[in-house]
A = this chain, B = another copy of it.
Amino acid sequence: VTVADAKRLVRRTARDDHRAFLAEGPQAVREALLSGRTGRPIVRQVFATDEARRRHHDIVALAGGSGVPVQQVAVAGVAGIAGLTGTITPQGLVAVCDFVDVSMDQIMSAEPALVVVLAEVRDPGNAGTVIRTADAAGVGAVVFTDRSVDVYNGKCVRATAGSLFHVPITVGADIAGTVARLRDSGIQVLAADGAGESDLDQAEASGWLAVPTAWLFGNEAWGLPEDVRRLADRTVRVPIHGRAESLNLAAAAAVCLYASARVMRHG
């Protein structure tokens, strides 16, 4: 893989064609290399500047140990690493990785107790932050529906801070089919919605957070469409104690997921 080939992966169509994406920076590259250790490597190639090579011996060694080629590249110019990254101050390391999403079958076979479903989430930074938060909260799987942002978008990958390589993710899911399947497996579906019938504290008091749960989160601007809300077992709102109209998506997800995690652990 040349830098010119890799550069094409900043576009979604090229990513889909090659089933490959770019992960940038030492943390993401390290997590990508580690995530392949139990099977075949998911990293096809690492690009590193001279400085990054010298600074991150451990990563170079990790790549070497897995048989992943590390190619030295310039900082700037047409063959430089800057063209591969969306950041103003690139960190000198980029990995070309295989897609990591798995099938819904694989997700369900692990019998996850806590699942996140992102329905029509469009902002890559939000989507990535939710993946990172889901990982932190111990979520077993994240489902992207078919009208959501591309999980392999550079901004999304960056916002996950490596969690893209930790949490099982499935993409392109049909929302109605996903909800039906989760419910058939005995997983309760809670739709997070500013106009939810109960608030999160009431949901906890009613014992609803103690059972296996899939949290459904909608679009940043328009939330969940009525037909999607109706698919859920219940709609739950994060209580607004002050004068804000709403929470942003990633903040609402953090509050809901940590509430479920706390109740499931401590009752």
- Residues of A at the B interface (CB closer than 8 Å) are 27, 129, 132-139, 159, 161-163, 166-167, 201, 205, 238-248, 250-255, 258-259, 261-262, 265-266
Contact = CB atoms under 8 A, between A and B. Distances in A.
Contacts of A134: 242
Nearest to A133: B251
Nearest to A239: B261
Given A254-B254, A265-B201, A166 B244 contact: yes
Given A247-B254, A255-B258, A265-B201, A241 B162 contact: no
Nearest to A257: B255
Given A254-B255, A255-B254, A245 B139 contact: no
11 contacts: A132-B248, A133-B244, A136-B251, A137-B241, A137-B242, A138-B241, A139-B242, A161-B246, A201-B266, A238-B258, A254-B254
A134 to B, nearest CB: 8
A249 to B, nearest CB: 10
A253 B254 CA distance: 9
Contacts of A163: 242-244
Contact of A262 (B201, B243, B247): B201
A128 to B, nearest CB: 9
A244 B201 contact: no
A97 to B, nearest CB: 17
A241 B136 contact: yes
